[in-house]
Amino acid sequence: MYKFVLKRIVMLIPVIIGVTFVVFFILSVAPGDPVLTILGDGATDEAIEQMREELGLNDPLLIRYVNYIWDVLHGDFGLSYKTRLPVSDQLLARFPNTLLLASCGIVLAIAFGIPLGILSAKKQYTFLDNVATVGALVSVSMPKFWLGLLLVLIFSLNLGVFPSQGMGEGVVGTLHSLVLPAVTLSTGFMATIMRMTRSSMLETIRQDYISTARAKGIKESQVTIRHMLKNALIPVITLCGLQFGHMLGGSMITETVFSWPGVGRYVLDSIKTKDTPAILGCVILMSVSFSIINLLVDILYGYVDPRIKSQYKAGKL
């Protein structure tokens, strides 16, 4: 098991090198000169040349890349072109906010998605199942920016119960300001998780071991939870892991709508100003967190399904 985890961590290295190189390359060949962005249009040729030298932009691409990675390995993500502040400080300040929002989002999505999915599967083709199906379709098709604005309109402007913007102070304030963004973020995922749980449950309901369990005379609720759910969980876990990874890096729309001071908004702002060090920092953070989540999901498989665990042990995966 430890060997498996270690192997997976080592595999992170090529992933990160690949991702950063692609992003680095694309940003270098993309039109637009960062120096002009920093100095403004009225800068003299001399100042521009001096700045280029300072930023190392005159070196060949590969050398610049190697230098960058070397710095990153020493914990230095460079200075933002726009603010001239260290990117690492910005990321450190913003990542916890994104993590908080994403965690609340995924918890909400799981807390409602899985039970609704179970219910929907157990009552297949009934009124309840149909309502849940239509509801899921509606929530999946609703764009996040629209849902966010709608919630702001209802709960902030009309009812005035939740703040529409930013992040509150203190625990209560934070939680209070978290409600609308978290609901916006989780709705679509909740529906996907619900549908996945439903179809996975329906597959296990037909299995022979469910008959064996029923023949033991145990309660239907025990049959459902102990026998069906645990077997139906594998695809649902995969889905939740992927979605959590997406949320960690990609809740840009939600963060922008609610002015949430997180990584998603930061990366969006950086892309607008072609702030290469900031974009690269965000990309590295996202790919690392995505890979770690995936590793955690793989480890979790082992705990849910003993067949997978024994394969880990045998070193087959």
Partner 1 sequence: MSEFLSVKDLVVRYDTDDAVVRALNGVSLSLQEGETLGLVGETGAGKTTLARSIMGLIPSPPGVIESGEVLYGDEDLLKVPERRMREIRGKHISMVFQDPMTSLNPVMTVGEQIAEVLQNHENLHGKEAHCRACEMLEMVGINADRAGEYPHQFSGGMKQRVVIAIALACRPKVLIADEPTTALDVTIQAQVLEIIKRLRKELNMTMMLITHDLGVVAQNCDNVAIIYAGEIVEYGTVHEIFKERVHPYTIGLFDSIPKMNEDVTRLKPIVGLMPDPTDLPCGCKFHERCQYCTEECKERVPEMVQLSPTHQVRCIHWKEVAAK
Site residues, partner 1 (CB under 8 A): 207-209, 211-219, 226-227, 230-231, 304-307, 310
DSSP 207: S
- Torsion, Cα 139 165 106 22, to 10 degrees, reads 100
| Nearer to partner 1 among residue 152 and residue 308 (C-beta) | 308
Cα–Cα distance measured from residue 6 to residue 254, given in angstroms and rounded to the nearest whole number? 35
H or E element that contains 219: none
CB closer to partner 1, 185 vs 233: 233
* Amino acid (1-letter code) at residue 202: L
* Minimum distance of partner 1 from residue 314's CB (angstroms): 12
Distance (Å, whole) CA 159 – CA 117:
31
Q: Quick one: tokens of 38? A: 């920093």
> For residues 72 and 229, which CB has a smaller minimum distance to partner 1 in the complex?
229
Distance from chain centroid for Cα 265:
13
- Are 165 and 265 within 8 A, CB to CB? no
Q: Which is nearer to partner 1, 145 or 303 (CB)?
A: 303
Considering the complex, state which of residue 48 and residue 202 has its C-beta at the smaller distance from partner 1: 202
CA neighbor of 181 nearest in space, from 200, 159, 165, 157 = 165
Beta bridge partners of 79: 86
Residue 127 CB, nearest approach to partner 1 (Å): 15
**Other CB atoms closer than 10 Å to residue 140's CB: what's the count?**
15
Nearby residues of 307 by Cβ (< 8 Å), 6 or more positions away: none
Least distance to partner 1 from the beta carbon of 235, Å?
Answer: 14
Least Å from the CB of residue 236 to partner 1: 14
Cβ-based nearer residue to partner 1, 52 or 309: 309
Q: Taking a C-beta distance cutoff of 8 angstroms, is the pair 197, 118 a contact?
A: yes
Nearest distance from residue 217's CB to partner 1, in Å? 4
Nearer to partner 1, 7 or 214 (CB): 214
Please report how close the Cβ of residue 301 comes to partner 1 at its closest, in angstroms.
11
Q: How far is the CB of 195 from partner 1 (least distance, A)?
A: 22
Judged by beta carbon, residue 206 or residue 272, the one nearer partner 1 is: 206
Euclidean distance between CA atoms 297 and 243, whole angstroms: 11
Written as six digits, the tokens of 108 are 């909400």
Return d(Cα 67, Cα 72) in angstroms, integer.
9
| Residue 317 beta carbon to partner 1: minimum distance, rounded to whole angstroms | 15
DSSP 8-class letter at 141: H
